[in-house]
Amino acid sequence: MSDIAISAPDIVRLTSVSKHFRVRKDNSLKDRVVHLGRLGKSFRRDFVAVDDVSLAIQAGTTVGLLGANGSGKSTLLKLIGGILSPSTGLVETRGRMAALLELGAGFHPDLSGRENVYLNASILGMTREEIDREFDNIVEFSGIGDFIDTAVKFYSSGMYVRLAFSVAIHTDPDVLLVDEVLAVGDETFQRKCMDRIAEFRAQGRTIILVTHSAQQVAELCDRGIVLKDGAVVFDGETRAAIGALRDVLEGRRVGEAPPEQTIHPIQVKGVELLHADGTPTKSVDEGDALTIRVHVDSMKPIERWELGFSIDTPLGHMVLASNTEMIGHRLDPIGGPVTVDLRIDAMHLGAGQYYVNANAAGVSEPSSHGLAQAALFTVRTLQDVSVGTVAAAVSVDSDRVA
């Protein structure tokens, strides 16, 4: 047997793909009549939604498409799904594709949930026999229950979305296209959707995900592609892709350093995460202790200085922060490289991935330097009784239930 690894085949391939739309400036009927035949062309312009994109996606990978509003993410996904045709270039795909772009687009409001399951699933490519076989699973996942025989026009928006998502994910796709649909529904349903997509990923299916949630990208994706004005400005590892997205959103070129001084009297050089036994780690269980080891250097002696950290979600929402001043601990004077351990006795964070940021500041010699996203770790919860960035034990007092 050969020792040479065989790479996965391309399941999606785009070659010099562009998509142009004709946009009219004279939106009212009066404007169109007035300018008809005279200045009509000057009131029309081409808008380039996707600009000369070439990329290949291998089978079994999960790819996140990132970018600001209007960057071309959704248009690119529709080109991959065959919903739009490219103005120029070539789009090649293999296998059955399920597009979760506009949930319930094939639903008829006057038909029951049951009838809409059969209608929508057939639009997505399932045969009658396949729908019969999966019907009970679709209803169970959706949580619709007895409402399955009620006309969907009487459904709440949450029920509508749950049923539509459930139909889409039971089409047994080779490629799953997901556009922001994980942002709908309540948090419990979003977690359920994330778990199912993670299950698809474990089965080796290909997933292409458009989302504004950096946490979803960090949790699910192997690769991140960042778009700006319809063009790819970054394509690579997800952590670097999230950083590139922040560069784009803050108006910098990808990889360009933020506008700040490059030389600091005091500098944070790195961050390590350690288990209670002192071994390096990238994951902890709910309730475990975690040590944040911060490496700091100073170019000159500083008598008084302070050190702090914060823990953020991948989207940048702070969930925990502290520093030596708050703790009431005075650090020894610094005049060169030192290491400081900050210990968290018990991590009560919800399941997911988190970034650690660190900052050092001189007090007697005013200066400051921080390191953003210096370390990444994953929290595993012991029991699925709550969701969110905080973990807590939740129970019911049966003696007080009426």
The enclosing H or E element of 34 equals helix 29-35
Question: How many Å apart are CA 200 and CA 220, to the nearest integer?
Answer: 10
What is the model's pLDDT at position 33? 58
Percent of the chain with pLDDT over 90: 33
What's the chain's average pLDDT? 82
Q: Is 216 helix (H, G, I), strand (E, B) or coil?
A: helix
Q: Of 325, 297, 285, which Cα lies nearest the Cα of 309? A: 325
pLDDT per position as a tens digit, 314-367:
767 789 999 999 999 999 999 899 999 999 999 888 888 888 999 999 888 888
Helix (H) or strand (E) holding 266: strand 266-274
- Which pLDDT band holds residue 255 (cuts at 50, 70, 90)? low
Among the residue ranges 35-44, 260-269, 305-314, the one predicted with the least confidence is 35-44
Helices and strands, number each (H, E), in the chain: 9, 17
Place of tokens 């169109």: 32
**Higher model confidence: residue 184 or residue 243?**
243
* Cα 9 from Cα 25, distance rounded (Å): 45
Indicate the SS3 state at residue 337: coil
Q: Structural domains in the chain?
A: 10-249 (3.40.50.300), 266-380 (2.70.50.60)
Cα separation of 347 and 358, whole Å?
18
Which of 323, 389, 321, 303 has its CA nearest to residue 350? 389
Q: Which residue has the tokens 């007697």?
A: 364
pLDDT for 70 equals 83
Give me the pLDDT at residue 5, please: 41
What pLDDT band is residue 389 in, cutting at 50, 70 and 90?
confident
Residue 2: pLDDT band with limits 50, 70, 90: very low
**pLDDT at residue number 265:** 86
Contact 359, 308 (CB under 8 A): yes
Q: Identify the residue with better confidence: 392 or 228.
A: 228
- Residue 378 and residue 350: Cα distance in Å, rounded? 10
Q: What is the pLDDT of residue 341?
A: 95
3-class secondary-structure state, position 173: coil
pLDDT tens string 91-106: 999 888 877 776 556 6
The per-residue pLDDT for 261 is 45
The helix (H) or strand (E) run that includes residue 327 is helix 324-327
Name residues whose C-beta falls within 8 Å of residue 74's C-beta, 6 or more positions apart in sequence.
101, 179, 180, 210
3-state secondary structure of 134: helix
Asked if 93 contacts 76 with a C-beta cutoff of 8 angstroms, the reply is no
Per-residue tokens: 241: 């892709």
Q: For the chain, how are helix, strand and coil distributed in percent, rounded to 5? A: 30, 35, 35
CA distances from 224 to 64, 67, 218, 337 (A): 5, 10, 9, 35
Phi, psi of 278 (to 5 degrees): 90, 0
Task: Using pLDDT thresholds of 50, 70 and 90, give the confidence band for residue 31.
Answer: low
pLDDT band at 235 (very low <50, low <70, confident <90, very high): very high
